[in-house]
Amino acid sequence: MRNLIGSLVVVAATVVVGLPTMSFSQDPGRHGAGAFVASGSGEAVVKGDGKMDVQGRGTVVVIAGRRDDIDVQGFGFKRQDGNHFYFEGKGEIHVKGKDIGLDATGDIDKVTAGGRGTARLIGAGHFKSGRDQGNWMQPGIDVHYGRR
């Protein structure tokens, strides 16, 4: 059943991408209280204060300062450019701090965030933030999570 639902999401995303003259608008500023969680395929860009985790396969860029915590399991370290840390492969990454971010591209098994911030989701998948939940697909959706 889970594979069937995943296949349907991929087919729906393909149809949306294949029909550029049609517009499927989504609320660009969805709000949710509390934690944020999403899974799917594509890109998830999460920014904010608190804690962020990602599990999956692909490329992940973490934005964090010297006082922030980054814990990596499985992903291979590629390089560092200032406060940007580049990882590639399969595994999980946990980041905790203020004004942090992560940009995950590929197969996202799960991305979570707690605290306060925003998430930009591009591709196809499902998200939940507080009482707000739904599917995300091309051209993307913005979700705000945490207390305001």
What pLDDT does 7 receive?
Answer: 42
CA distance 132 to 134: 7
Predicted TM-score of the model (pTM):
0.75
Residue 42: which domain range?
A: 2-145
Q: What is the pLDDT of residues 86-127, one digit of tens each?
A: 999 999 999 999 999 999 999 999 999 999 999 999 999 999
Kindly list the distances between the CA atom of residue 50 and the CA atoms of 54, 95, 97, 101, 113, in Å, as whole numbers in the listed order: 14, 8, 5, 10, 7
Domain count across the chain? 1
